[in-house]
């Protein structure tokens, strides 16, 4: 499936740029123009899910200029002369014929000239608008390089600048003023076979807060990873932003803001908009259409999830996806600590949707080890903006009350860690630097191998850096983060590769599995199954390097294995809707995976026997 040598193209591009070598389109088409080692790099660029090239001939009624302006069809200079003549585009392209490999190199060369991550983001999004297959070929050639650009942390910056970076429509904007007409609005989208929707209202974008309509960057980036990491076909994906206004005064005062310029509409009108949206989507695309809620504020996230989870095929990635990847990290950490989940006490910095989601999934995992839900909850403590959550503290909502224990109230996280002496601390409150030097050193004094997860995004909101964790714990800390950190080398020469607890380990594989077998309702059991699957893929070699997750460059194999596990689970528990049940689950899932290989547009031409083609004359 995935091949690490896809990186060779990027390395080749860097070498040619550093040496000042002039790379001409004509010479790129001829591998002999490169040294032997670089010719090997060129051959290594071909990377796709199946590991083999899947060429097919497709038919389109579009002709001429429309072909070159359609990102689903456009191949740029990879169109053959025969295709150019038949499609009526000969003369619209330079007289040059390039392979997709060479096109990847050309884009990478341009990419390497950009220093600013936002400029790199705009370059990639422009490529997606122009040539979809090339965009995904590029992403899958080195997912570790490009994921931080198309998603966290760069997508946060892109959302903040979305009004200026906006080039052309890449999703559906539905506003509060469109109530009663959402079904009509869905008809504006050019694709009818939609299998996956990511929707946000922009109120809690990453750790950046209310960005209103600028939040569209999140569904766009998320669905790009559905395809790049999971293989979900891009034409089956729809990004949606529900614009109900914004409470961000800076945006309201900005004359260049591209969203509704009024405060957020809440209450009955808001709920009616969500209701209508869910109904319109399933009426048009079917009950099997996956709807992922993303970056909704705490006040709405749990409420919406609980309202719809047993009625539609839906999940909330901030709650359930984050929970799954965090629990996967904890399960992998048990291979280092050599004990069970029941031996651990966890303190959360934050008590919002991410913290509560992780806590609930941890309780499910503990229950599988033989304790009641109540006993499991006793091992979990939470700290919010008002301090430790304890019984008798006022203004606790229903979700937080479950984790309120009999204990004197403590105001700060430092006090909590010093008093409770947890084995694991998990930060999900988007408070940069919350894990202070004292907290980290205290964790190291209580535990031989302290578990320290700084999961907040983007990087500026991380509770601590990998270097701080490894240095202050003298290399004993078991670390994971939400955003990527570079490797850390300690004074004694030991090198650690921080595990990135990225939700991208979870949602692409879950989506692929759910779509493949038509799961109607996504239970938390699916996310626990996913967490266990990810932890099982972490080897002793990974753990020795400090990794709690499989290397990011294997994420497509991870997604594939998760999808197969979900399909097996779905048929075993009778929650699949696609029958008959496939015998070969792996082949079944593989048949649903998108290939970034170019299709052939050459017409199917043939001849009849000569006598059958005799022209009748008078």
Tokens of 381: 């403590």
Tokens of 62: 């579009």
- Three-class SS of residue 614? coil
Indicate which residue of 75, 133, 195, 222 is catalytic: 222
Rg (CA), the chain: 26
Q: Which residues contact 424 (CB under 8 A, 6 or more apart)?
A: 330, 333, 344, 345, 346, 347, 450, 451, 452, 453
Active site residue 133: no
Please calculate the CA angle 232-238-239 and round it to the nearest 5 degrees.
Answer: 115
Tokens of 412: 């700060």
Tokens of 238: 């729809």
DSSP letters, 82-106, are: HHHHHHT-TTTS-S----HHHHHHH
With CA atoms as reference, report the closest residue to 595 among 59, 218, 32, 46.
Answer: 46
Indicate which residue of 151, 226, 470, 505 is catalytic: 151
Helix (H) / strand (E) containing 480: strand 478-481
Active site residue 136: no
With CA atoms as reference, report the closest residue to 423 among 381, 461, 391, 456.
Answer: 381
Rounded to the nearest angstrom, the gap between the alpha carbon of residue 181 and the centroid of all alpha carbons in its chain is 30
Tokens of 490: 């300690």
Tokens of 318: 């901030």
Let me know: does 13 contact 105? Beta carbons within 8 Å. Answer: yes
Q: Which residues are catalytic?
A: 151, 222
């Amino acid at each position: 499936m995935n091949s690490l040598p896809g990186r060779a193209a990027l390395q080749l591009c860097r070498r040619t740029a550093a040496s000042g070598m002039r790379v001409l389109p004509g010479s790129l088409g001829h591998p002999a123009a490169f040294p032997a080692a670089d010719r090997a790099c060129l051959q290594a660029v071909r990377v796709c899910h199946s590991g083999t090239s899947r060429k097919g001939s497709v038919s389109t009624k579009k002709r001429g200029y429309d072909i070159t302006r359609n990102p689903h069809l456009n191949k740029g200079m990879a169109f053959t002369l025969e295709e150019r003549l038949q499609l009526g585009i000969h003369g619209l392209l330079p007289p040059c014929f390039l392979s997709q490999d060479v096109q990847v190199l050309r884009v990478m060369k341009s990419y390497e000239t950009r220093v600013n991550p936002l400029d790199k983001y705009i370059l990639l999004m422009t490529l997606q608008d122009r040539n979809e297959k090339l965009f995904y070929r590029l992403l899958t050639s080195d997912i570790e390089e490009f994921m931080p650009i198309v998603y966290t942390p760069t997508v946060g910056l892109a959302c903040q600048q979305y009004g200026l970076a906006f080039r052309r429509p890449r999703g559906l904007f539905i506003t509060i003023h469109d109530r009663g007409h959402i079904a009509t609005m869905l008809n504006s989208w050019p694709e009818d076979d939609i299998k996956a929707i990511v929707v946000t209202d922009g109120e809690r974008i990453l750790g950046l807060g209310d960005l209103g309509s600028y939040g569209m960057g999140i569904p766009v980036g998320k669905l790009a990873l559905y395809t790049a990491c999971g293989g979900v076909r891009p034409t089956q994906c729809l990004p949606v932003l529900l614009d109900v206004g914004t409470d961000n005064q800076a945006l309201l005062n900005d004359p260049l803001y591209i969203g509704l310029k009024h405060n957020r509409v809440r209450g009955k009108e808001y709920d009616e908009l969500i209701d209508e949206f869910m109904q319109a989507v399933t009426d048009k695309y079917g009950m099997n259409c996956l709807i992922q809620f993303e970056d909704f504020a705490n006040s709405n996230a749990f409420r919406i999830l609980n309202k719809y989870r047993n009625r539609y095929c839906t999940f909330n990635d901030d709650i359930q996806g984050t929970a799954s990847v965090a629990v996967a990290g904890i399960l992998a950490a048990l291979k280092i600590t050599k004990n069970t989940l029941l031996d651990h006490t966890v303190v959360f910095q934050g008590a919002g949707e991410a913290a509560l989601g992780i806590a609930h999934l941890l309780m499910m995992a503990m229950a599988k080890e033989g304790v009641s839900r109540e006993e499991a909850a006793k091992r979990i403590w939470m700290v919010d903006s008002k301090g430790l959550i304890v019984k008798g503290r006022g203004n606790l909502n229903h979700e937080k009350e479950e984790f309120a224990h009999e204990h004197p109230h403590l105001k700060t996280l430092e006090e909590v860690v010093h008093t409770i002496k947890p084995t694991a601390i998990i930060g999900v409150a988007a408070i940069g630097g919350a894990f202070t030097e004292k907290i980290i050193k205290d964790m190291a004094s209580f535990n031989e191998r302290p578990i320290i997860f700084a999961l907040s995004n983007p990087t500026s909101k991380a509770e601590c850096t990998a270097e701080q964790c490894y240095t202050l714990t003298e290399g004993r800390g078991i670390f994971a983060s939400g955003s990527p950190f570079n490797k850390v080398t300690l004074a004694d020469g030991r090198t650690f590769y921080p595990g990135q607890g990225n939700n991208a380990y979870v949602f692409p594989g879950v989506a692929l599995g759910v779509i493949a077998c038509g799961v109607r309702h996504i239970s938390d059991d699916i996310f626990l199954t996913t967490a266990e699957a990810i932890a099982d893929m972490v080897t002793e070699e990974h753990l020795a390097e400090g990794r709690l997750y499989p290397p990011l460059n294997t994420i497509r194999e991870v997604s594939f294995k998760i999808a197969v596990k979900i399909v097996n689970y779905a048929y075993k528990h009778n929650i699949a809707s696609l029958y008959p049940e496939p015998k070969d689950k792996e082949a079944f899932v593989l048949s649903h995976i998108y290939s970034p290989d170019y299709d052939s547009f050459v017409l199917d031409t043939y001849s009849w026997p000569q006598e059958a083609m005799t022209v009748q004359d008078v």
